[in-house]
Structure 1
């Protein structure tokens, strides 16, 4: 077993290598990035694009707005901004237009009252996009893996089918990181996605959905460090029909949920996407935010592996606290957070996924090829595969770390109960510039820890910083208490204005 000193030296070397890779990446960015007239996407001028999904569907059901007009407005917006942000990687505009006309014809032929229509189709005519990792019939399903670039979905993922049954109309599929294993949406098939608030910055997450939603395009995905409204709970929304396929302990971490601009869309979308899993939740329970117990932490206590939390994010968090209710405090340790994230994972053969269950790759050889510009894999995937090779299962260490994870889980669950929420940074920084995440690969721990602990989380935007980049916070609750986090998200949105349109800063 390596000594603590040796392990620390290895981590420092890893960090140094990441820093050098980041320097090379930023140099490449400066030399090779496409140039745009503006650093942000264009502001919205079409009123339909500023309505929530709930509002749009209501207007369509009331026959006050034509579904085809809604779909066309979104198509026009996508054509305008997608060349800048590269959020949608494959369109299905013609099919969407046909489906919109079918909705208008259905409403013209049937004179059912609005309540009946809402029960049948709660999102009738509402445009959505789907992460490329999920099957959408007729669309690619590669998860950014070059080996799978010709893989076309023959059916819909369960969650996509549920959205379609609710009346939603998919406009296309969105970008993701290679195998959804990195927090910058970039791969060697579709390239990278850009942040609509500043094109030189990352979109965040493992999905390009956030850039679409932030630019007034539709979305239905999972949470993102770019702080769009998003929520998820483990074991609620079905994962069937996405790649990579989770197995063993991975199923515990793989979770799906809606991502929207407006908080009022989260609960009804979660109802649809959860299917039978909705029985685990208490979404009909009335929540009085003033009666909730609030707990908070400004940061994880400090670590040389993770960035310090930006003062902008700390101030945004304090603004929430000072303008709200009595706050109680909880303290933890960075080590406990990191341990709880890593040690609950069983050994995973990521190299098998990279080989698409064919011949496993040689990570060291791929690193050499990448340095020569010859590898088909991205450097985050190669780095993860190399890290995987160094992981050694040691029973005593596993038991020790598992005990830390279980202790933290017990502490949080008992503290939160059924009437408490925990406020915590979603990420230690605002959206960084492209390639910078390579120098801070463990910053994902701020969200990853709650995956490891199996707790529901809702991401909430809190305006923009002085440079026009989004600020936000995550709200955590006890198991299956999503109704609490969703209620707080709506409360924050009403109090702080929620999502802010890019291009108006």
Structure 2
């Protein structure tokens, strides 16, 4: 009892200290950062079609691929100077490829069904996170030492989308080495949120989240080792799916995972419309798609639903905002009303240790005893070794080639143990067992995507552990869909995670489609 009171007191002191720092930061920042004007409204109706709908219209010759690709190029050129989301384009090549698609459709004698079977996304434009290899495009992962690296080929998920007929428009920004909550680096700078440019787009797939949320893309490719698909999807009001571990190839991206991290990294789709998630995931999964049984019908009325409103009160993590708790409660009530189900609210005490579990397992060696590559070594990228303390001194003097976030991670790594404690392993095992038994083959769990709506630029430096709401499911290997469920009073996206059992991705995807109809899904930033 005494320990519990001490922990609560310590938590209050920590939160008060963080609150004071954020208030001070706000006072300094407000002098030079007034609220930014909104984005231009979308004027071309082609931009308001899902990828599936757009592909159908292209196959039926109701619109040409050239018209669709040009519409997205125009939108990117309109919004990207305000957002800094797309960092390198291939517009000329994309238009040439679109013209070839239109010619193929004119010459195809097999009809629409044959085209759909062979090329389900024929003529549909998409964007790719810059850390993935896309032929002819940069592949720096925001690392200054790699700014001249150009991809000679395509990462497997990118190649599969191209083989399905989709046309890449360019690559989007990410955090340095894909390991931070904000997409900011010394190669391309910072990416902003389309709903309020004073706020972050998230990380590490923040460029994808921002350009999708702005209406400048309809389908995107992201990666996720701690929430890097789901946090940007949440902050930018779109859908994002972290598949069951091991289903979609992680090859062809930098930095490559090492140690046990190979079991936690996932590649998945980011989409403005929920109906695109399943077909895009099916394409990206390639030869592993059959494991997910994505073509099987899902009867939502026969599913069991659970809701966990927060992690139980971790000392390191911010409390969940009341508006997010209320939004999750409304989702539960709507599911009960629409489907005739009962959403059971639970408390899962092991979630309180989410960050400690994630941090310990990310630093652990693989099954052969080989440790993960040191973050400071990745920062050097085969060059001169980075010394984190000296790099921090250089940063203070404005001389570092790295961001404060990356330096901070390298400093934290110096004191991180490579062997998880017995207590943390016990918490992880209990949590894994509990959730797998709870969800089984017919359960869906509602859980917050983040404790806050989209933070302002650089604020995550004061709350670095808040990503644990997403990161814990990478460790558990469970599929998760981030789903938008309206907007806040400030006009910023609200959302939540839908968690399913291993290989039951179709359950969370089907639930997301239902919630899109119920709550409106993505909202255009100019009208939010």
- In structure 2, the residue matched to 1:350 is 375
How far did residue 392 of structure 1 move? 2.5
Contact kept? 2:274, 2:516, Cα under 8 Å: yes
Contact kept? 1:339, 1:405, Cα under 8 Å: no
Residues in 1 aligned to 2:17 and 2:402: alpha-carbon distance in whole angstroms: 18
Residues in 1 aligned to 2:418 and 2:82: alpha-carbon distance in whole angstroms: 45
Bigger drift between 480-489 and 384-393 goes to 384-393
- In structure 2, the residue matched to 1:497 is 520
- In structure 1, the residue matched to 2:280 is 269
Structure 1 residues 265-304: aligned runs within 5 Å: 265-304=276-315
Residues in 1 aligned to 2:516 and 2:476: alpha-carbon distance in whole angstroms: 26
CA 1:386–1:130 in structure 2 vs 1: closer, same or farther (change >3 Å)?
Answer: same
Residues in 1 aligned to 2:311 and 2:430: alpha-carbon distance in whole angstroms: 16
Residues in 2 aligned to 1:197 and 1:500: alpha-carbon distance in whole angstroms: 10
CA 1:17–1:311 in structure 2 vs 1: closer, same or farther (change >3 Å)?
Answer: closer
Residues in 2 aligned to 1:17 and 1:114: alpha-carbon distance in whole angstroms: 62
Contact kept? 2:360, 2:418, Cα under 8 Å: no
Contact kept? 1:232, 1:458, Cα under 8 Å: yes
Deviations 1:92-150 (A, max 9, x none): 11000101111111111223211100011000010100000001111100000001011
- In structure 2, the residue matched to 1:404 is 427
TM-score by length of 2: 0.89
CA 1:304–1:336 in structure 2 vs 1: closer, same or farther (change >3 Å)?
Answer: closer
How far did residue 291 of structure 1 move? 1.1
- In structure 1, the residue matched to 2:221 is 221
Match of 2:397 among 368, 372, 387: 372
2:466 is the counterpart of 1:460:
no
Residues in 2 aligned to 1:136 and 1:28: alpha-carbon distance in whole angstroms: 40
- In structure 2, the residue matched to 1:182 is 180
**Partner of 2:526: helix, strand, or coil?**
coil
- In structure 2, the residue matched to 1:340 is 357
Deviations 1:290-316 (A, max 9, x none): 111001111111133111111111111
Deviations 1:441-480 (A, max 9, x none): 0000000010111110001000111110000010001111
2:485 is the counterpart of 1:485:
no
Contact kept? 1:15, 1:440, Cα under 8 Å: no
CA 1:178–1:24 in structure 2 vs 1: closer, same or farther (change >3 Å)?
Answer: farther
- In structure 1, the residue matched to 2:411 is 386
Contact kept? 1:22, 1:438, Cα under 8 Å: no
- In structure 1, the residue matched to 2:344 is 328
**Partner of 2:199: helix, strand, or coil?**
strand
- In structure 2, the residue matched to 1:92 is 90
C-alpha RMSD of the superposition: 2.6
Structure 1 residues 35-434: aligned runs within 5 Å: 38-207=36-205, 208-218=207-217, 219-222=219-222, 223-225=229-231, 226=235, 227-233=237-243, 234-325=245-336, 326-333=342-349, 334-345=351-362, 346=364, 347-348=371-372, 349-394=374-419, 398-434=421-457
Residues in 2 aligned to 1:154 and 1:416: alpha-carbon distance in whole angstroms: 42
Residues in 1 aligned to 2:13 and 2:417: alpha-carbon distance in whole angstroms: 19
Residues in 1 aligned to 2:398 and 2:192: alpha-carbon distance in whole angstroms: 22
How far did residue 400 of structure 1 move? 2.6
Deviations 1:19-44 (A, max 9, x none): 898678657754666x88x5321221
**Partner of 1:89: helix, strand, or coil?**
strand
Runs of 4+ displaced beyond 3 Å: 7-33
Bigger drift between 339-348 and 184-193 goes to 339-348
Contact kept? 1:193, 1:202, Cα under 8 Å: yes
Residues in 1 aligned to 2:257 and 2:13: alpha-carbon distance in whole angstroms: 31
TM-score by length of 1: 0.93
Contact kept? 1:461, 1:470, Cα under 8 Å: yes
Gaps of 5+ in 2: 1-6, 223-228, 337-341, 365-370
How far did residue 493 of structure 1 move? 0.5
